[in-house]
């Protein structure tokens, strides 16, 4: 199992705005115009302690039929964490302004997606060296 701990993540303002719009969360009504939102995102970035664990399991594997997208293929699993800093920040800011709660769900999702993308990039580079292709990422619930 390989791990990467403490890498740098970014919460891009435009990405958060795009995700908020898609989630039908009006940032302006929550008092989160661009000048107010950027400092919050910067503060969130400082609280993150991202880490990913990942491993590729070759064929055959006992769990292959459950986890591999196609029979007979190897598969990779990625587990991502952001640490508890964002949860603490969420609790503090939403206590003062409960309307901001959806922002933190959006920021958390964006940060997790970014951390999985970092691990997937490493896996993709390794797959290319072995003349393999990655199938699309399938989140497990």
pLDDT tens string 40-66: 899 999 999 999 998 887 766 555 555
Residue 37 has pLDDT above 60, yes or no: yes
Average pLDDT over residues 79-104: 87
pLDDT value at position 106?
94
Give the mean model confidence (pLDDT) for residues 75-88.
88
> What pLDDT does residue 92 have?
85
DSSP letter (8 states) at residue 51: E
Taken in order 140, 137, 120, 82, the sign of the CA dihedral is negative
Report the percent of the chain where pLDDT is more than 90: 40
Instruction: Give the model's pLDDT for residue 15.
Output: 95
Task: Report CA dihedral (46, 29, 21, 11) to the nearest 10 degrees.
Answer: -10
Q: CA-CA distance, 13 to 85, in Å (whole number)? A: 19
């Amino acid at each position: 199992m390989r791990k990467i701990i403490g890498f740098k993540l970014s919460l891009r303002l435009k990405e958060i705005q795009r995700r908020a719009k898609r989630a039908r969360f009006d940032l302006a009504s929550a008092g989160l115009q661009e000048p107010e939102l950027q400092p919050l995102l910067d503060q969130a970035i400082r609280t993150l302690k991202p880490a990913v664990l990942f491993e590729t399991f070759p064929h055959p594997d006992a769990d292959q039929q459950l986890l591999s997208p196609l029979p007979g293929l190897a598969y990779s699993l990625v587990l991502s964490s952001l640490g508890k800093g964002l949860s603490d920040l969420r609790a503090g800011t939403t206590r003062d302004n409960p309307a901001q709660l959806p922002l933190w769900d959006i920021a958390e999702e964006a940060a997790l997606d970014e951390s999985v993308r970092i691990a997937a990039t490493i896996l993709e580079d390794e797959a290319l060296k072995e003349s393999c292709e990655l199938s699309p990422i399938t989140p497990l619930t």
